[in-house]
Structure 1
Amino acid sequence: MRLPRRAIVAATALAALTVAPAWAQPAKGKFPDRLIRIVVPFSAGGGVDNIARLLANQLQTQLGGASVIVENRAGANGALGGKAVQAAPADGYTLLFSAATHVLAKEVMSSPPYDPQRDFSPIARVAEAPLMLVIAPQLEPRNLSEVIAAVKKQPDRWTAAIPAAGAPSHLATLLLAKQGNVKFTYVPYKGTQPALVDVAGGHVQLLMDSMVSVLPLARAGRVRPIAITSTKRSTLAPDVPTVQEGGLPGFTYGSWYGVWAPKGTPADRVQLLNGAINAAMSELGKSGALAALGVEPVAQDVDQFKSYIAGFVTQSAELLNSAGFKPE
């Protein structure tokens, strides 16, 4: 399911840094010469918001001291903030920082407020992170193979929490069920925290979500970590095996994050922002700020990001359709 990371190569990052002099010292009257707003369509303090604020701070340096702020506009599964950016002037001063859910609005909403691929200008895919599978602590399984065996034996007893329709947590859980040849009863939630609380309380049996979001309760023993979805173990939880180690060869999945501008934003500003953002994320990767969040930087040019989005939407739609998901 996970798309090839063709663009994550040293040449891309080097190219982003090579063009730095062209935008690091913006001339008077040139872009940017005033405040840049990064709209996060989720509440402050969450995973998306934390990464956006790191980027905003570093971007000020990459843009030669230009002011960059984060503005939270939560609501409607991210669509409220997305709509605000869509309606903003297409001048590069209002940007959207969101997760993979942004591009699946048409697949998960019965009346989407916009077409994510047609109504926005993709700027950059900036980072990705693995998910972690956790289960209620009172359950017997200790590893993934035991979980799958238990679900096959008593499928009616196993429910899976879904924090948001079309989110990486949802898609990864569907993929787990498909590759593990098991069936879950899916329980929808409005966000990770209420879902996680119910897993800790034994009201639902499992949750697969951002590793950083679930790790604190896993470390506290309130939920039991079973596996992570990356190709290798995480330094944040080195004792937790990968899903592949747990018996599902080839299984990888990750959440990812990107930046968009309103449709029609001038191409030169899109390219300038792409270079500045790639350079900013490279610096954050070197500093260790992203690793502390369990996130890895990604460097893609604008065309590569567009292609990635198209492939991700196609594969995600196929997975949702195969599971019988209906837009809400």
Structure 2
Amino acid sequence: MKQSIYGGLLRAVAMALGVAGVVAASPAGAESAYPSRTITIVVPHPPGGSVDGVARLFADKLKNELHESVVVENRPGASGMIGAAYVARAKPDGYTLYINASIHSINPLLYKKTITFDAVKDFTAVSMLAQGALIFSVNPKVPADSVQQFITDVKADPDKYTFATSGFGSAGHLGAAQFLYEAHISKVPIVLYKGAAPALSDLVGGQVSAIMDPMLSSLPLVKSGKLRALAVTGSARSPLLPDVPTMREAGMKDFEFYSWYGLWAPAKLPPAVLGKIEAASAKIMGSPEMKQRLDALGFEVAYKNSADFTAYIASEMARYKKIIDTAHITAG
């Protein structure tokens, strides 16, 4: 009888251990089965802008690589911080991803007292995807046809001029602030808009004078003659605008500025899931088709893996801090 009872206890313990083993193994099993349902890529800006454009190109290819549905969800507002906060609180399971531009690494330098998340610690930097120079363009009624002439005209009558920016802290905002500082122009306001579309609409309409903006949103307006490009902010001329000089060629000695685009997930993303997404990103960004499509929109592939992207973010934040401090940019 004792042996029977003892045997029963052994079987019960074995069954319990077996169940525990299944429970303990399930997270790893879930990771190995990733993905098994729809993946959402959060874009913290309105549709139609540069971030949205890059995200939709990437999402279309990601679904083919991971063999699962991928949807883009726009959660705009507060210079991208509403969407970022949503992702920071999301479950780190690989089903909520996040694509944003360099503004993600600029916001914490500007909104130190009000930001509700840590832009580094609350996210997993998965991969850098692309970068693009900005177009420095003006309303056609602005008389200047060069950067140096623009500087001369603005200094002569600063009250006639304004800069637009598609978002406070965006690459275009910092680019414009750096330009105004280096040109020794202090009285021209930078007007904040909620997205590229309204900013460009007012620029075309003449309500503002100039903008630095990614090619995806500005290039069609330049090509159609609704805006006039004075310069591009990259290290070399764009093949899409071969007659437009770089800022350095236009007399701004060390001026070079890009908007870059990356893929993040919530912090503590399991290594197995990170590895799958990272590998898919590398394959997508390395494809000739993606290069061709990005080139046509004024971007270039700038893939970095998770470790390299993390290091790049740290170096860029140090550079942005110097610009913000030098140009005395403050929130509010």
TM-score in terms of structure 2 length: 0.85
Choose which of 70, 82, 85 in structure 1 pairs with 2:84: 82
Q: Give the superposition deviation at 1:285.
A: 5.0
Letter paired with 1:103: S
Q: Distance in 2 between matches of 1:101 and 1:206?
A: 20
Deviation per residue, 1:132-183 (Å, 9 max, x gap): 0111211221111211222233333332112211100001111212333333
Structure of higher RCO (CA pairs closer than 8 Å, 6+ residues apart): 1
Q: Distance in 2 between matches of 1:192 and 1:59?
A: 26
Q: Give the superposition deviation at 1:264.
A: 0.9
Q: Are the counterparts in 2 of residues 137 and 224 from structure 1 also a CA contact under 8 Å? A: yes
Q: Distance in 2 between matches of 1:321 and 1:105?
A: 14
Letter paired with 1:273: I
Which residue in the other structure is 1:37 paired with? 40
Q: Distance in 2 between matches of 1:116 and 1:324?
A: 22
> Does 2:329 match 1:325?
yes
Which residue in the other structure is 1:213 paired with? 217
Q: Give the superposition deviation at 1:279.
A: 1.3
Which residue in the other structure is 1:96 paired with? 98
Q: Give the superposition deviation at 1:284.
A: 5.5
Which residue in the other structure is 1:140 paired with? 143
Which residue in the other structure is 1:204 paired with? 208
Which residue in the other structure is 1:300 paired with? 304
Distance 1:230 1:287, change over 3 A: closer
Distance 1:83 1:241, change over 3 A: same
Runs of 4+ aligned structure 1 residues displaced above 6 Å come to: none
Q: Distance in 1 between matches of 2:282 and 2:31?
A: 24
Which residue in the other structure is 2:71 paired with? 69
Q: Are the counterparts in 1 of residues 49 and 195 from structure 2 also a CA contact under 8 Å? A: no
Which residue in the other structure is 1:230 paired with? 234
Letter paired with 1:262: P
Q: Give the superposition deviation at 1:210.
A: 1.0
* Secondary structure in structure 1 of the residue aligned to 2:293: coil
Q: Are the counterparts in 2 of residues 58 and 284 from structure 1 also a CA contact under 8 Å? A: no
Q: Give the superposition deviation at 1:28.
A: 10
Give matches, 1:97-136, under 5 Å: 97-109=99-111, 110-136=113-139
Q: Give the superposition deviation at 1:45.
A: 2.8
* Secondary structure in structure 2 of the residue aligned to 1:325: coil
Q: Which runs of 5+ in 2 are unaligned?
A: 1-28
> Does 2:269 match 1:247?
no
* Secondary structure in structure 1 of the residue aligned to 2:173: helix
Q: Distance in 2 between matches of 1:199 and 1:49?
A: 21
Which residue in the other structure is 2:10 paired with? none
Q: Which one has a bigger Cα radius of gyration?
A: 2
RMSD: 2.1
Q: Give the superposition deviation at 1:326.
A: 1.8
Distance 1:284 1:85, change over 3 A: farther
> Does 2:268 match 1:264?
yes
Structure with more helix by fraction: 2
Deviation per residue, 1:93-112 (Å, 9 max, x gap): 21111111112222233411
Distance 1:267 1:157, change over 3 A: same
Q: Give the superposition deviation at 1:90.
A: 0.9
Which range is displaced more, 151-160 or 230-239?
Answer: 151-160
* Secondary structure in structure 1 of the residue aligned to 2:37: coil
Q: Are the counterparts in 2 of residues 92 and 265 from structure 1 also a CA contact under 8 Å? A: yes
Q: Are the counterparts in 1 of residues 291 and 301 from structure 2 also a CA contact under 8 Å? A: no
Q: Give the superposition deviation at 1:239.
A: 1.9
Distance 1:28 1:201, change over 3 A: closer
Q: Are the counterparts in 2 of residues 97 and 258 from structure 1 also a CA contact under 8 Å? A: yes
Q: Distance in 2 between matches of 1:326 and 1:29?
A: 46
Q: Percent identity?
A: 35
Q: Give the superposition deviation at 1:255.
A: 0.5
Distance 1:190 1:44, change over 3 A: closer
> Does 2:329 match 1:290?
no
Q: Are the counterparts in 1 of residues 131 and 258 from structure 2 also a CA contact under 8 Å? A: yes
* Secondary structure in structure 2 of the residue aligned to 1:290: helix
Q: Distance in 2 between matches of 1:272 and 1:198?
A: 43
Aligned residues: 302
Q: Distance in 2 between matches of 1:217 and 1:128?
A: 20
Q: Distance in 1 between matches of 2:171 and 2:289?
A: 22
TM-score in terms of structure 1 length: 0.85
Q: Distance in 2 between matches of 1:242 and 1:28?
A: 47
Q: Are the counterparts in 1 of residues 49 and 216 from structure 2 also a CA contact under 8 Å? A: no
Which residue in the other structure is 1:60 paired with? 63
Q: Which runs of 5+ in 1 are unaligned?
A: 1-25
Q: Give the superposition deviation at 1:280.
A: 0.6
